[in-house]
Amino acid sequence: MLSQEEITRYNRHLILPGFGIECQEKLKSAKVLVVGAGGLGCPVLLYLTAAGVGEIGIIDFDTVDESNLQRQILFSVNDVGKPKVEVAAAKLSKQNPHVKFNVYAMRLQNKNALEIFQDYDIIIDGSDNFATRYLVNDACVLLNKPLVYGAIYKYEGQVSVFNYTDKSGITGPTYRCLFAVPPTAGSVANCSEIGVLSVLPGIIGTLQATEAIKIITGMGKVFSGKIMLVDALSMNFSTVELSRNEDAWRNTVPASPEDFLRTDYEFFCGNKTATSFLKTITVSELQKILELTNEIQLLDVREPHEQPQIDELIDLQIPLAEIKYRAAEISETQKVIVFCKAGTRSKRAIELLESEFGFTNLYNLEGGVTEWTKHYQLK
């Protein structure tokens, strides 16, 4: 029930056609977790607090830095050096004393994600790195929680709702349906490396807050099954349709909480490497081996549609995204030559197999298929 003070505070909601007290009470009963109190998290938190979401969790391990002030609108110069979650909760409590705030001044990890997420109705991702995005997505899939996604890059942003189950019981795409595997480590810079337009996270974060309110109240149509691409310089908002790819997420999302706890997302995203020495083989060395024996296994970690397919190298194909779940198909006794287009994904596959499954018989084909075709013309 709303108090008289709340009825006065939320008057502009209550007089909206189709909204009224019922939707406002749904907001009051809702629990929303915001991952990250940075550029995206700040506008999300401000608007959800103003709207009257009853319980809001904030998780962020960082402190306020002066470089944050250009876009993270919850903070001021007096907050520099202080924990973001504590500053945010204190200021937001003054904005709306009817909201309960739970602060988690810690890094989101496998060991705490499921325990924290299970207490909330909706998860909003305001993170700025791929490892956290995949972790958040997988935790939401395991717990069947809707995920409001947002991302920013220089002058552009993205918004979508993942893993949302509609009124008919149909669940929409997950983050892995869009990005089954992360980009090559270092190929996409973050804000601290490439910069970001100050107002852009405000635009994207406000759209994320809008989707959360729609999910809670049942108003409108939730932005599931599509992704919005925002170009701030041209002020162009375009929409791309998405479909739920069962193979993409079933073969990549950990199958159980136990598998989730064992998944190293930093390693998966290429942010760290295995400590073992990587064994390699050149295309000329492989050619000589193939002339002498067939007692080896050739493992192609490219996607099935990638060309060219080379007759001499056709043996076992397991895309990198599936390698963890099909490790049993890989020989532990024969010499295994792992290859991809140029040698990068095969290296990551070897590092994963060695660190998580103890393989010692894997060799990376230097230069991959690209190098092979330079020396041996396709028939």
Show which residues are catalytic.
Answer: 191, 340
**Are 45 and 74 contacting, i.e. CB atoms less than 8 angstroms apart?**
yes
**Residue 54: alpha-carbon gap to chain centroid:** 26
For the chain, give the number of residues: 379
Q: Which residues contact 122 (CB under 8 A, 6 or more apart)?
A: 30, 31, 32, 33, 145, 146, 147, 148, 212, 215, 216
Query: Pairing relation of β-strands 55-59 and 226-231?
Result: unpaired
Give me 214's structure tokens: 């729609």
C-alpha angle 57-183-309 in degrees, rounded to nearest 5: 145
How far apart (Å, rounded) are the C-alpha atoms in residues 281 and 311? Answer: 19
**Are 160 and 224 contacting, i.e. CB atoms less than 8 angstroms apart?**
yes
Q: Which residues contact 372 (CB under 8 A, 6 or more apart)?
A: 283, 286, 310, 313, 339, 365
3-state SS class at 246: helix
How is 260-316 classified by DSSP, letter by letter? HHH--HHHHTTSS--SSPPPEE-HHHHHHHHHH---EEEEE-S-TT-S---GGG-SE
